[in-house]
Structure 1
Amino acid sequence: MSEQPELPADVALMWGLRDVTKRGPKPSLSVGDITRAAIELADAEGLAAVSMARVAERLGNSTMALYRHVKSKDELLVLMSDAALERPEPLPAGADWRAGLTFWAKGVLTAVRRHRWYAKLPISGPPAGPNNLAWFDSALGALKDTGLSEESKVGIVMGLMTYVQGEMRLSMDLATGFSENPDAFTRYGATLSRVVDPRELPALAKVLAAGVFDQVDAFEVTEEADFDFGLQLYLNGVAGFIDRAE
């Protein structure tokens, strides 16, 4: 029988399977301690403030003490990206696939909004940490009674993840931009009306003529409505796919 391949370093770290046994006294720190301190620091000062030195300072330890458990800032960000999500709430009892995925998607958004820096984390690969996989499993579970193949379920969930992540990152960037330069948003319609030629950009000209960008709240904090609109469009497509697969 062939040997099992070695786990990737970041996966072993997130699952607590990395061997950090060394001679000397028992370490006073754990990976969990380090991750929690990093998240607290990011919550207080933003992701840019997170460094091995700052986390060590927050814990009252030397930077070298952290390196015994976490080898780099990149590894620390991987740990933060999983731990910040926490575990998902159980899907509502008796919910159909659509209600389940709606509940799931809004749960992801709620979890991420607790940590506004989450949108700045690099995406380095598919979900592999315990919390991320718990969310993955939950979404797949919402599709259990659809009769779809396992491959189709994965495709639907990965597409939904892409939508949620994209909407989350875009909305947070826009919210930051609005807070820093509200005039760029409140004057958007007036600005476009000065440069949009109906002969060159006819579809956009119709949007402007309809007054879509005249209201300040067109770009203000409408995250929830925008998210729901896009989510239901996506789920309408899923519904059509399920109908055709039956």
Structure 2
Amino acid sequence: MWRLREKPRRGPKPSLTLDDIVAAAIAIADAEGLAAVSMARVAERLGNSTMALYRHLKSKDDLLVIMSDAAIERPEPMPEGVDWRTGLTFWADGVLTAIRRHPWYAKVPISGPPAGPNNLAWFDSALGVLKDTGLPEEAKVGVVMGLITYVQGEIRMAFDLAAGYAENPDAFQRFGSTLRRVADPRVYPAVARTVDAGVFDEVGSFEEDNEADFDFGLQLYLDGVAAFIDRVG
């Protein structure tokens, strides 16, 4: 909870604040990607020495954690009276929207549980939707952590695939025809059946396909949650 580390200081207000540092780092990452962020670059953007940053942060790793928390901001208020499934769908779509504003977010390593006020607010929002399910608190945490794993994994994979598509779209366009040539049914029987069914013949919009895949996987996960609630709740 990075705000808890700030201690009130006596004397004049410092010219550089933690908020200034984080805002400058986010601006660099938005413009040039996460790899461009360094303590030296942030200091240069702020017109300060690198050592001035270390009065507020121990390391670049600390900066990345705080950047990711600041960038995701606070969740939109949950609509009144929604059931748990509608609420978790609203929540997952909100996470997707928030991270799309800062694609570099998907490159920040996940090294622990929610560690900042904004991430904690998202965690609280998802847990709150499950309050009337009858699930024990530990099970609610398990449901939300599973959803976080799905959403984060899908977003990270989608961003990586988007980068690959931008670099070589022909490889994606030719995927179905290539499989048809190489998927020997004696070696890859299940893949061959999928190819024969024409699953990979139709190539649509890359963005639309990602949206459809995300929603399909999300609803499958929520189907499992519904079955779990019926059994345990």
TM-score (norm 1): 0.90
- The residue type equivalent to 1:194 in the other structure is R
Which of 102, 114, 129 is the aligned partner of 1:115? 102
Which of 202, 212, 227 is the aligned partner of 1:225? 212
By relative contact order (CA 8 Å, sep 6+), the higher-ranking structure is 2
Aligned counterparts of 1:137 and 1:181: Cα–Cα separation in 2: 40
- The residue type equivalent to 2:38 in the other structure is S
Aligned counterparts of 2:28 and 2:13: Cα–Cα separation in 1: 26
- The equivalent of 1:8 in structure 2 is none
Quick one: structure 1 residues 104 and 220, their matched pair in 2 at CA, closer, same or farther if it must change by over 3 Å?
closer
Aligned counterparts of 1:241 and 1:90: Cα–Cα separation in 2: 26
Q: Please, what is the CA RMSD of the aligned residues? A: 1.7
- The equivalent of 1:191 in structure 2 is 178
Which of 32, 37, 41 is the aligned partner of 2:28? 41
SS in 2 for 1:29: coil
Runs of at least 5 residues in structure 2 that lack an aligned partner in the other structure: none
TM-score (norm 2): 0.95
Q: Is the 8 A contact 1:186 1:215 kept in 2?
A: no
Aligned counterparts of 2:197 and 2:93: Cα–Cα separation in 1: 31
Aligned counterparts of 1:83 and 1:235: Cα–Cα separation in 2: 28
Per-residue CA deviations over 1:2-27 (Å, capped at 9, x if unaligned) read: xxxxxxxxx4xx124244859x8642
- The residue type equivalent to 2:37 in the other structure is V
- The equivalent of 1:147 in structure 2 is 134
The runs of at least 4 consecutive aligned structure 1 residues that moved more than 6 Å come to none
Aligned counterparts of 1:227 and 1:42: Cα–Cα separation in 2: 25
Q: Is the 8 A contact 1:20 1:68 kept in 2?
A: no
- The equivalent of 1:68 in structure 2 is 55
Aligned counterparts of 2:207 and 2:191: Cα–Cα separation in 1: 20
Aligned counterparts of 1:235 and 1:172: Cα–Cα separation in 2: 23
Which of 201, 216, 219 is the aligned partner of 2:203? 216
Q: How do 1:1-246 residues align onto structure 2 when only pairs under 5 Å count? A: 11=1, 14-19=2-7, 26-217=13-204, 219=206, 221-246=208-233
Runs of at least 5 residues in structure 1 that lack an aligned partner in the other structure: 1-10
Aligned counterparts of 1:98 and 1:108: Cα–Cα separation in 2: 15
Number of aligned residue pairs: 233
- The residue type equivalent to 1:204 in the other structure is V
